[in-house]
Amino acid sequence: MQKKSRRARPSRTARKPAGPPRRNAFYAQSGGVSAVINASACGVIETAMKHPRHIGKLYAGRHGIIGALTEDLIDVSRESAATIRGLKTTPAGAFGSARFKLKGIEQNRAEYERLIEVFRAHDIGYFFYNGGNDSMDTALKVSQIGESLGYPITCVGVPKTVDNDLPITDCCPGFGSVAKYVAVSTREAALDVASMARTSTKVFVLEVMGRHAGWIAAAGGLAGLKPQDPPHLILFPEIPFEKQKFLDRVKQCVTDYGYCVIVVSEGAAYPDGKFLADAGTKDAFGHTQLGGVGPMVANMVREAHGYKYHWAVADYLQRAARHIASQVDVEHAYAVGKAAVELAVKGINAVMPTIVRKSSKPYRWTIGHAPLSEIANVEKKLPRNYITEDGFGITQECRRYLLPLIGGEAYPPYKDGLPDYVHIKGVPVKRKLTTDFKV
């Protein structure tokens, strides 16, 4: 009997097996999205369906935790198998994400009581939260409501952040693909600049994400193989920006190579900690400057040396670029989603699956897990030995770390020349509460 029910698909009418009671599960996407967060969703959903003894229905929050607070739940079982499979090749947050950080239980008990009210109404016993630093903090808080508010729940974080700044895990799903995008784009744009430099653009600046950690900027360094290859200079948040030293290096590059390619992290900052982008510059109407750090650095170079410049700001293009996703990253993303469910059905609470590197060359990895309490609110910056002594490049150690993460191409399917991304139907679960909740 038990064997049979293990193979049955989840259904509200299935007879409950012996053992821990079957309960429903909640999955939500949180924070800035990535090219592969939906691949994690796919891992969670497909694996949950393989555990009908423990997991009944799987509900997704529409726009993350907000969907839970407002009882706006999506019935994942109403999506076709093709749509679920298609999540693996679709960027951004198919269920909607949110930037919403729960306060501590002491500070805002009402939010937690509301969560419990919604969870109880829908018999939710599993909570999967797919996000980065802040999100793991939220997941940790939710994992504690069993103990502090008497509502039993198994809460597992699913790592996701293009910033690659979560501790313990070797890397974060989402990062490998943005790293690949930045490395590829830097290599391509650099070829363009090299072609034109004789009579036109001599300096090119690419602004990339990473407000506090330079992992994404470092990935730009993969574009070159030899010391003279572009990018010639990388500006990391971890290295205080020294204007004169930088300008001297730009001039040297143009003299030596005819051009200079610069990758700058949005988090590049002066020695006093002030962001370069926070230059306090105003436009003619007294409004704060429009540009980011990319145009600001390009302009700095032009003022000092008069070189013709171009700049690009990749912004969302870099983290949504599923068309050039890393195969390894997609596999990581799926694997942590799968592992999260497997941990949860074993009753392991307040953890997050991690990527464990077993070797770099050849690249071998496995999945581990770590307590949320050791992950929440800890930020992993680029180690100093990953940055060259002069502060403008990446070392061989860094290259050895990064290279496996951009490995392999995981092209999405195309239709009429465009990636054929899926859209969920998003059928809402019938509400059971009559109360509303303002977020």
Complex with a second copy: residue 120 or 400, whichever CB lies closer = 400
Q: Point out which span in 114-122, 194-202, 244-252, 424-432 binds a second copy (CB under 8 A).
A: 194-202
Choices 12-20, 153-161, 231-239, 308-316; region in contact with a second copy by CB under 8 A: 308-316
Of 109 and 282, which has the nearer Cβ to a second copy? 282
Closest to a second copy by CB, 48 vs 189, is 189
80 binds a second copy (CB under 8 A): no
Q: Does 310 bind a second copy (CB under 8 A)?
A: yes
Contact set for a second copy, span 9-38 (CB under 8 A)? 29, 32-33, 35
Site membership for a second copy, residue 41 (CB under 8 A): no
Q: Least separation, in Å, of the C-beta of 59 and a second copy?
A: 17
Q: Which of residues 254-283 bind a second copy (CB under 8 A)?
A: 279-283
Q: Closest CB to a second copy among 2 and 285? A: 285
Instruction: Please identify which residue in 213, 253, 320, 352 interacts with a second copy, judged by CB under 8 A.
Output: 320
Stretch that binds a second copy, among 163-171, 238-246, 295-303, 350-358 (CB under 8 A): 295-303
Q: Does 323 bind a second copy (CB under 8 A)?
A: yes
Nearer to a second copy, 98 or 370 (CB): 98
Q: Which residues are catalytically annotated? A: 163
* Stretch of 51-59, 76-84, 176-184, 366-374 contacting a second copy, by CB under 8 A: 176-184
| Contact with a second copy (CB under 8 A) among 264, 314, 333, 355 | 314
Subset of residues 207 to 246 that bind a second copy, contact rule: CB under 8 A: 222-223
Residues 349-408 that bind a second copy (CB under 8 A): 403, 406-408
Q: How far is the CB of 285 from a second copy (least distance, A)?
A: 7
- Cis bond before residue 227 (omega within 30° of 0): no
